[in-house]
Structure 1
Amino acid sequence: MKAPVVFLAAALAQAPVSAAEWLLVSQDGFSKIYIDPASRKIAGDIASVAALTDYDPRAPEAASFKLSEKGLSEIESVRLDCGRRQYSSGGGRWFAGQMADGAARSDYPAKTAWSKVPSFYDGLYAKVCAKN
């Protein structure tokens, strides 16, 4: 098991999902994206945060996204370079139910290479990288 997955598993195990105060930052017809403001950490231009994505199983995209296999929600450890508008993933975990309820289905590994912030995370980027 790679170190980022171990780190993610340890982080998710230490902070019960139900204890998080999820804040809605964006939504479309397929998903709602929330952040746990208490998880937000800033080091220079780099911000990290726990992001929960809740999927609508009735949306047209649900079948092609394989929600029946993956689950109805996921929590991802997101890293953002607020100065360069870049994104990387610390890995995540899929859950059977919405709002990270129900059994954990599977973990996915970190993707540490930086890339452009995906459009579905525009609202997350705006909230997390907002200047205080």
Structure 2
Amino acid sequence: MSSLWVSFAGDSDRAVVRESARRFLDGWLTPGLVEETLTVIGELVTDVLRHAGSGELVLSRRDSTVLVEVLDRFSAGDGRPPVVPAHACGWGAHPAGAGQVVWVEMPLAEPGRQQGDGVGVGSGG
């Protein structure tokens, strides 16, 4: 399993988080799912910054999915991602110390498509 771990603490880190996540996701997810996953990551990071001021993003590639986890160390929110993407395999939250981890699991390919079936990064879809 391959993973990416990025800490963030303020609005200035949003671009770093997004670019790091894009580099991690490119080549594994179909281009549409990369964008959908980046949108989810952006919403989760914004939510954590609003409530706690800092957090951590963890992306983990599994056999057929990518797990997106955002750690909010200081607030126990409502346990629901601010956006649940259409292609999500699952989502949820669990306590983590004084805060929580909100997670969303995304497939590597859209239903009916396989990664690498002629849809490559930069191919235009």
Using the size of structure 2 for normalisation, the TM-score is 0.29
Whose relative contact order is higher, 1 or 2, with alpha carbons under 8 Å and at least 6 apart?
2
